[in-house]
A and B are shown apart, each in its own frame.
Chain A
Amino acid sequence: MADTETLLQAWAERASTDDEAWAHTVPGPSLDAVTARLASVPRDFLDERVSLPALFGDILPAVAAPACLAFADDARVRTGAAIALWLVAADDLIEPLDPPLNTARAGVAVDALALRVASVVDPATWLVDDERRVEAARTFLLWDGLRPAGEDAATARALLDACDSLARDRAMAAAYEGHRHRAEIARRLQEARQREAAARYSAE
């Protein structure tokens, strides 16, 4: 299994900056429609025996292979990519979303779920946890060049930032460092008090 940093590094090399991505978004389907599709992934897409490159080739034959295929043996990447591919496939298998997804950019969107989101949140939780499902849906739309219906770019960006697991993990790590820093000072204080106690003397 690839470590999280490796997957994030692969994503960083693959993707443009967030600012550029947001600048090129256009109104897309409603968030509810995308999350509803995420919640109804067919079991076949989650079957680990199904080859990810083959699945990708079947659904997006005209799109260049995404970076996540290099990590197809990683369960998180495989499941994340398969769920993203279901969103694309559902346009044909059920009916197109309104407006439809942007197939030409779907490779990046698949990578976004497989490398960026799946590396910090188990894709299985996207199916059962509303918050994580919304995060996956918003991320997919962004990198597919879309933003949820009824939202301007600033709103959509703020709402994705609010549920971004990677950003939250980093904020938690920063908070932890704050507590560590305080603990270190507390330890130095304890030592200083011990030295002060040892320096006390009797004036008799």
Chain B
Amino acid sequence: MSRELSDLERAAWEKALALWGVSMHDPRMRPGEGEKHGGAPAWFTFPASVTVDPAAVATYGGTDDLDSVFAHELGHHVLAPSTRLDSLKIRHQLGRTLQAAGLAHVSDGQVALLSNLWTDLLVNTRVALLQRAEGSGDAEPGIVRMCRALYAPSIGGEDRLWWVYCRTYELLWHLVPGTLCAPQPPAAVAPAVRVSEDADARDLSQTLERFREKERALREARSKAAQIEAELATVITTAPETDAALLADAVRTFASDPVGGALRFGVVTAPYIAERDRAERSGRRVPAVASAGECADDTRPASAQEIGRILADRRMDEPLPQHPGISMGETDDESADGRSRGQRLGVAETLGLYPATDADTVLTEWYRMQAAAWVRPVTRARPPQAEELPGPLETWETGDDLAVIDWAATLRSGPVVPGVTTKRRSQLVDETEPVPQGLDVDVYIDSSGSMPRPDRGSPAVLAAVVLALSVLRGGGRVRVTSFSGPGQVAGIPDYSRRIDEIIRAILTFFSGGTTFPIDLYAQRHLTARPAPGARQRHVVVLSDDGLTSLFGAGNPDAEGIAAAVRATLTTATLVLMDRWHQVADLAAQAGYDVIYLETMDDAPRACAQLARTLHG
């Protein structure tokens, strides 16, 4: 339960508001609630709200600096992360750095920890600056006193990341080493060396004599590789003193840009989480993670709209910077371990960043954002309809239709003499410009096991999404059918303009065999008559070399259906991942165009080709 602010607390709150120059509703004072937030004395939540546990503040001796506690939490509202969207973007960037550091599974807690450290660094540094500016100059800012009191219990702790964090404050605030953390960093915990011998435990004499020499050579090579692997696992590359200086630089450089600086912060700090993780997995005892509690409390998973806005920010997809220790003295294109830089965020990595959000939502937004750059309106020119315009007057001749006499003009010419004074209005043909018209495109996408999975990056899915968005942009409609083995058909039954529904249908993945739903195809295009006024019809099938079932392979009853349907369509195009062009002849015989696709990078080109075909 919240209680009212006391007079002293209100004075401190108003002082903190004045420090930042903002207004905000009163904080919630909830004694004893800090335990639920990792022992934090105060925390900030979205929608913007500050909560303080005065009992926890008193426990660490911060009651006299309550204005600094408030100022810190207000800093999360004003500076970092400021908005929930920016908070999610910071977490997104830090999650990427954790993945790049080698963590197979990035946990929400790991991301939250780094996010808290980064935003706290920015906020506390700014608060100290503001307090120095309004203070007497030499007096120690309240926020520095607060941190000294809050971090005092952790001095001498074994958590290396916490040491780097505290040392960064010492550098930023010109504090003597040992003020917030021990003068020397704790030693790293190297992973335990484990060389697997299981495969070679078998006695060599059990191997057939003619293979013994080869078996001996294999065991020797395997043993050597295992030794080097164990050696690699024990190498520690983190350098706390240097890393603290790098973080201090990052704080100064990105003082007002928490999202922009998150990657720089992450590449320096994520290796500490990764080293800890490796040591823990190897069975080593690792020190407890130190923290001052979670003061940015926001555990709601990202919504579809938020993920869309995050992925639409190009910074979220930019290549990761190298750790300054690695990139020193190297060109931009090569890292110390010889790997090429510039790898962008793939769909699998993106899914890994949002474990708490529905995977279909993440996939939908990811493909939509990947497609966005390539979407162009796809239309087809409607045949011009000749119209007539009134032209100059002509003489109405006897024998012409009486109805076309222009009586007003005739009477103005004097007495009516048929064939002499009678007039008629001539008609001129108006050559109108062709009118672009949206298309109805019937899309069939193969979701059999031989196709790339959407959650691993599917060129077919990307091409289908680019196509669908382009058709919708041109004012058209799309119907999607996902197919795999017999009975494995899903999608939307009617043409639609609802983007989410269309992309979700495209993302359907059965992972079964490949059988084109020929009966449904025939029913839609041969049996059912198009509605009066229906637009021209176009079919696009995305598949691989298993699409022979469209042309009746293995089903004699289906032979000729594809060709018969083709005759009713305006265009019919196969977009195939068919390296050896095994479907080419069948497609040509039935009158289908074919566009080939292999990688994600091919999708825009294939869609541009497809757009030209559809446009006619």
Binding site for B on A (CB under 8 A): 32, 131, 134, 150, 154-155, 158-159, 161-163, 168, 171-176, 178-183, 185-189, 192-193, 195-196, 198-201, 203
Contacts and interface: CB of A to CB of B under 8 A. Distances in A.
A122 to B, nearest CB: 16
A137 to B, nearest CB: 12
A183 B338 contact: yes
A155 B177 CA distance: 8
A176 B328 contact: yes
Contact of B337 (A158, A174, A182): A182
Determine the main DSSP class of A at the interface with B: helix
8 contacts: A158-B177, A171-B245, A175-B325, A179-B336, A182-B232, A189-B228, A200-B218, A201-B214
B235 to A, nearest CB: 5
Contact of A178 (B174, B217, B239, B252): B239
B229 interface: yes
A60 B170 CA distance: 37
**Which of B222, B241, B336 has the most chain A CB atoms inside 10 A of its CB?**
B336
Given A159-B176, A168-B245, A200-B218, A192 B228 contact: yes
Interface residues of B, number: 40
Contacts of A201: 211, 214-215, 218
Nearest to A149: B138
Closest 7 CB pairs of A and B: A175-B325, A183-B337, A192-B225, A196-B221, A175-B239, A199-B218, A201-B214
B242 A199 contact: no
B105 interface: no
A176 B176 CA distance: 27
B237 interface: yes
Contacts of A154: 176
B242 A171 contact: yes
Nearest to A175: B325
A13 to B, nearest CB: 28
A162 B242 contact: no
Contacts of B323: 179
A133 to B, nearest CB: 12
Contacts of B335: 183
Contact of B328 (A162, A172, A200, A203): A172
Contact of B221 (A150, A180, A195): A195
B95 to A, nearest CB: 23
Contact of A203 (B176, B208, B325, B329): B208
Given A183-B336, A203-B208, A134 B174 contact: yes
A45 B138 CA distance: 31
Contacts of B215: 201
A185 B32 CA distance: 52
A158 B239 contact: no
Contacts of B237: 175, 178-179, 182
Determine the main DSSP class of B at the interface with A: helix
Contacts of A155: 176
B338 A179 contact: no
B235 A203 contact: no
Interface in B238-261: 239, 241-242, 245, 252
B85 interface: no
Nearest to B208: A203
A163 B237 CA distance: 22
B248 to A, nearest CB: 8
Nearest to A159: B174
Nearest to B216: A199
Contact of B224 (A150, A179, A192, A203): A192
Nearest to B220: A199
A201 B216 CA distance: 11
B326 interface: yes
Contact of B242 (A131, A158, A159, A168): A168
A175 B242 contact: yes
Contact of B231 (A175, A178, A185, A196): A185
Given A168-B242, A175-B242, A179-B323, A187 B337 contact: yes
B337 A172 contact: no
**Which of B177, B215, B228 has the most chain A CB atoms inside 10 A of its CB?**
B228
Contact of A185 (B174, B220, B228, B329): B228
Nearest to B137: A32
Nearest to B242: A171
Contacts of B220: 199
B291 to A, nearest CB: 24
A196 B241 contact: no
Contact of B235 (A185, A192, A193): A185
A199 B336 CA distance: 29
Contact of A189 (B137, B225, B324, B329): B225
Given A162-B170, A171-B242, A195-B224, 7 more contacts: A168-B242, A176-B326, A176-B329, A181-B235, A182-B232, A192-B221, A199-B220
Given A183-B336, A199-B214, A176 B252 contact: no
Contacts of A195: 221, 224-225
Contacts of A162: 170-171, 174, 177
A192 to B, nearest CB: 4
Given A176-B325, A201-B211, A185 B232 contact: yes
Nearest to B245: A168
A171 B228 contact: no
